[in-house]
Structure 1
Amino acid sequence: MDEPEFKPFHKTYQIITFALSVGMIYPNPATDKMRLASIPISILTILPLACMIFLEMYQCWTQGDIVNIIRHTTVLGPFLGGLFKMFLMYHKRKQAKQILDEFERDYHLYNSFTGDYLNIARDGIRNSLIYSERGWAITVTTCVMTFPVMAILLNMYNYTFKFQATKYMIHDLNKPGASPEARFDSPYYEIMFFYMMYCSLLYVINFIGYDGFFGLSINHACMKTNLYCKMLEDAWKAEPNERYRRVVAVIDEQCRMFEFVNLIQDTFNIWLGIIFLATMIQICTCLYHITEGYGFDLRYMIFVSGATIHIYLPCRYAAKLKAMAAETATHFYSSGWERVNDRRLRNMLLFMVARAQTPLQITAFNMITFDMELFVSIMQSSYSMFTLLRS
């Protein structure tokens, strides 16, 4: 028997699945108890580093060292946010599982497609693989792993070409209760270096899995919309005794798409609100560190670029879904219904068009609509905060 072209979610999006699984946020009911026990263990492993950073931030506060406070918060904030995703996904595990089930159901259905339907499905999955999985994984890995990679390269260069080598940490952090130079003493330096490397990998895994899953879900909703618009066009061309069944199938798919979007909204609603606030602050603090810190720092320049992409993509995905939903009514009206003299089907079409005209939006905290206008607003607000901070 030939292997199906469209495979289950875990085989189609292997990078996202791996990140979700390792990050203990893959919504598998069989692993609920294991994840519930593993999440506190993961938090305990990073608690020492978080406490050390908080302690140094307090010392910087007493000394009026705003630059170092911002330097620490820029890295620590998103890291702690990544751990919060474990709790959030566990809380929303049932909704997330329903999203995965819809992927599985649709991909199984796509294996029976031919012609234009097959091309739409292929293009949609290819787009998700390139942008929502591989592109996002490369972006997150580049932004985060720049810190350890640059530390390794600088250490190698100094030990190779300099008589008195200067050591570099992944994230420069003083040893609690000791002089600043003590952070480079062995074996403390080596232990902290590998410990921060572990935290960096955990950072990457959390952001690739959770945020990538959101992008895949939105793209899948858009693909479902394209498919049932094409289904309606072909329904009007069918034989009279087949036409009604096909139009009803389109209505079923339209309803499933709306339910699917509601699941996405319910699953990611809180997270979208958090990144709306956190990213705006993070872009501001990164810019401040780059301009007012200790000279130009390539790591934070890449990091602020990643933060911008991090808020751009959800806005872009949500805007894409909003635009496609708004165009659905036009596609329905232009599908060729005028060639069919059947009052019952025409009345059905009226309800389909009316339902499609209802705005379909992704919101944060059920209040803030995600679209490209919001992205522009975030950029403007971040820059305003930055200029205020400089003054």
Structure 2
Amino acid sequence: MYPNPRTDGKRKILIGCLILSVSPALMLACNDLRLRFLKNDMANLVRQSIIIICLTFVIIKLMITVFRSNEIRALFDGINEDYEKFNYLPEEYQQLVAETIKKSKSLEKIWLIIMSVTASSYPVLAGVCTLYSMMFSDNPRRFMVHEMEVFYLTTEQKYESPYFEILAIYSIFVVGVVFIEFTGFDGMFSVSVFHVSLKIKIFSLNLKYMFVDATDTPTIKKRIAKFVKDHCEVSRLIGEIQKCFEIWLVGIFVNAILQTGMALSQITTNVNKDINGVYYLFAVATIIHVYLPCYLISDVTYNAAEVANVAYSSSWEMVEDVNIKKCICLIITKAQIPIQFRALGMITFNMEMFVSILQTSYSMYTLLRK
């Protein structure tokens, strides 16, 4: 996922090949969706819709990594430069940096485990059901990784060799692509937002000690100018993140509503009971998938709002210069304006939106159950 300029050409070719390799699975799912619609098979129609939305989202993210490669590269180059500067900060600042890195790594590991379990549940469950049926059932049958109709093959033929094995291998490959994309691209957003929170905490710490060991007005004014510069850099960084990931954020919003409602509907259906268990994991993973950006962005908003309290507690009243006191008032006023992440200027991500998504998803679930 990392836009390395030295391998930019190879990377674009590889991403193009991945898109082409996933497209047949999307076509098969769309064809199956069409057949389910003609048969008025609502349960399987919803099941295929879940896969179609997932694969479409994967293709969109792959395309974003190509079309936004320059912006993403600039974003991560800036983060790398910041971490080089952090190496020369005092010990208290170093602790903030180490804590942020630890949290970022922990979150990546948790999300990696969740996606590993969710993605592997499809082939693992299909394999277990097939083995159990072969060993203990009077009428043994094979289970596909994802049940769907296949072009030019009858229902009986797709379970025969070598078609069944080819479809199984291809399905596992598609699952692997989905796993890589949902961990790699989404991880880039987490790293970026964690970095915003870190920069806010660092200039808040600068603000806390702004009047310490500073008896002359010029030194204090230089520190205020440095704070304003750092604050502007954070605003610019937030703008860059929104530009790189705004389409992805909209996709998460739509994906969470549709996928959660459909997964809950699939769990409670009486069709395909043997494989419906995977949708428990799917629903949980989808909810966590939208919860994480909402939580991380809310953390940025909280840290930015805390700047006002830090500024008010920074012993500014001990300074006699009126202009400096006015600057502190402006800093407090500016900090009281909430920092928000907007996708395409319409969708604001925060914990309130997360609750709203869950409510809408449940409404969709009740609608599908009728």
Given the two structures, how large is their TM-score scaled by the length of structure 1?
Answer: 0.88
Structure 1 distance, partners of 2:313, 2:43, is 59
CA offset at residue 164 of structure 1? Answer: 5.8
Structure 2 residue 347 is the aligned partner of structure 1 residue 371: no
Structure 2 distance, partners of 1:187, 1:154, is 19
Q: Structure 2 unaligned runs (5+)?
A: none
- Note the 1:2-81 alignment, pairs <5 A: 20=1, 26-81=2-57
1:126 to 102, 107, 125: 102
Name the counterpart of 2:153: 178
CA offset at residue 293 of structure 1? Answer: 4.0
Structure 2 distance, partners of 1:324, 1:114, is 21
- Note the 1:229-378 alignment, pairs <5 A: 229-240=204-215, 242-294=219-271, 295=273, 297-378=276-357
Name the counterpart of 1:389: 368
Size of the alignment, in residue pairs? 366
Matched-pair contact (CA < 8 Å) for 1:173–1:183: no
Q: 212-221 vs 162-171, which deviates more? A: 162-171
Q: 140-149 vs 290-299, which deviates more? A: 290-299
Structure 1 distance, partners of 2:338, 2:133, is 58
Code of the residue aligned with 2:82 in structure 1: it is: D
- Note the 1:79-158 alignment, pairs <5 A: 79-131=55-107, 133-158=108-133
Q: 117-126 vs 164-173, which deviates more? A: 164-173
Structure 1 distance, partners of 2:89, 2:128, is 51
Code of the residue aligned with 2:262 in structure 1: it is: T
Code of the residue aligned with 1:148 in structure 2: it is: P
Matched-pair contact (CA < 8 Å) for 2:200–2:234: yes
Structure 1 distance, partners of 2:213, 2:102, is 30
Structure 2 distance, partners of 1:190, 1:142, is 23
Give identity over the alignment, percent: 29
Given the two structures, how large is their TM-score scaled by the length of structure 2?
Answer: 0.93
SS in 2 for 1:369: strand
Q: 371-380 vs 237-246, which deviates more? A: 237-246
Code of the residue aligned with 2:195 in structure 1: it is: H
Matched-pair contact (CA < 8 Å) for 2:294–2:351: yes
Code of the residue aligned with 2:166 in structure 1: it is: I
CA distances 1:328-375 after superposition (whole Å, capped 9, x unpaired): 222212122222333343333233223322221011221121111111
CA offset at residue 96 of structure 1? Answer: 1.4
CA offset at residue 27 of structure 1? Answer: 2.4
Code of the residue aligned with 2:122 in structure 1: it is: F
Code of the residue aligned with 2:285 in structure 1: it is: G
CA offset at residue 159 of structure 1? Answer: 4.5
CA distances 1:195-216 after superposition (whole Å, capped 9, x unpaired): 1111001000111111111112
Name the counterpart of 1:8: none
- Note the 1:159-198 alignment, pairs <5 A: 159=134, 165-198=140-173
